[in-house]
Structure 1
Amino acid sequence: MLVEIEKVRQVPGEDYRRWFVDENTDLIVWYDASGDRITGFQLCYDKKSVQRCLTWQRSESDRKSIMSADGRYSRKRVIRLFDPISLKLPEDLSTLVRSVLAGEIQDG
């Protein structure tokens, strides 16, 4: 189950960051200055073997899809990994991440 790390270091010049972890997954989420709008996320999974990361960011036109380091990933597998560990995440966050992973939305 993903749990939030308290007091995450914030990087000057970047959006506000929250970090959620479990033994095999990291989810880093960036929010705008108001803290209300998610501006991007990075989901890193399979930490115990060959770690993979998926990144999604809003663009100025709000039309930027998810990116993988090697350009390929299994949507079904990542959703299958994400769903059970996301149960304690804020609902708006888990809904957005799942929708982006499923390819249902690109712009959040």
Structure 2
Amino acid sequence: MLQEFKRVKQEPGVSGRRRWFQGAAMELIVWLDTDEQPEGFQICYTGFGQQEHALTWKRQSGFVHNRVDTGDTRPDKNLTPILVTDGAVPWERLRRDFFEVSEGVDAALRQFVAARLAEGGR
């Protein structure tokens, strides 16, 4: 089940705030505007082959799907993880998994994210 980190460090000089929820197999980060309305979110999850992925939605641009390149391909060279473009989004799996783990997210926010996921892939 997703549980919220209560003291999330906010970015200085940025209006609005972010909320961060974490569970065993999924993380949800939500960006809120100054009116506390969602302007974006990111769902991080483990995909096939145990590779980490990130699905990001922003009000202005819609969805972007990435794979996390950990930069740890060599033991003598530890690089910073970065997001790289990735292929198809497993929409049905993400919808199902989000529904199963999001009981701890307040109802309005949960419904908002679920509605965006329902629009995805169509």
TM range, smaller chain = 0.7 to 0.9
CA distance in 2, matches of 1:13, 1:85: 32
Question: Following the alignment from structure 1 to structure 2, what is the Cα–Cα distance between the partners of residues 94 and 33?
Answer: 19
Of 42-51 and 23-32, more deviation after overlay is shown by: 42-51
Alpha-carbon displacement from aligned partner over 1:26-55 (angstroms, at most 9, x marks no partner): 1000111132x1110000011892111100
Letter in 2 for 1:91: A
Is 1:103 the counterpart of 2:104? The answer is no
Give a deviation string over 1:16-75, Cα, whole Å, max 9, x none. Answer: 01000011111000111132x11100000118921111000111xxxx321102142111
Give the whole-Å Cα distance in 2 for the aligned partners of 1:99 and 1:75.
12
TM-score by length of 1: 0.82
Does 2:65 align with 1:65?
A: no
Q: Does 1:25 align with 2:34?
A: no
Partner of 2:109: 93
What percent identity do the matched residue pairs reach? Answer: 35
* SS of match in other structure, 1:86: helix
Unmatched segments (≥5 aa) in structure 2 = 67-85
Q: What pairs with 1:29-48 in structure 2 (closer than 5 Å)?
A: 29-35=30-36, 37-46=37-46
Between Structure 1 and Structure 2, the one with more strand by share is: 2
In the alignment, the residues of structure 2 paired with residue 13 and residue 68 of structure 1 have an alpha-carbon distance, to the nearest angstrom, of 27
Greater than 4 Å deviation, 4+ residue runs? none
Structure with more of its chain in helix, by fraction: 2
Q: Superposition RMSD on alpha carbons, in Å? A: 1.8
Structure 1 residues 99 and 71: CA distance shift in structure 2, 3 A: farther
Q: Which amino acid aligns with 2:29?
A: I
Sort the Cα spacing of 1:39 and 1:86 in 2 relative to 1 into closer, same or farther, 3 A: same
How many residues are aligned here?
Answer: 99
Unaligned 5+ segments in structure 1 are none
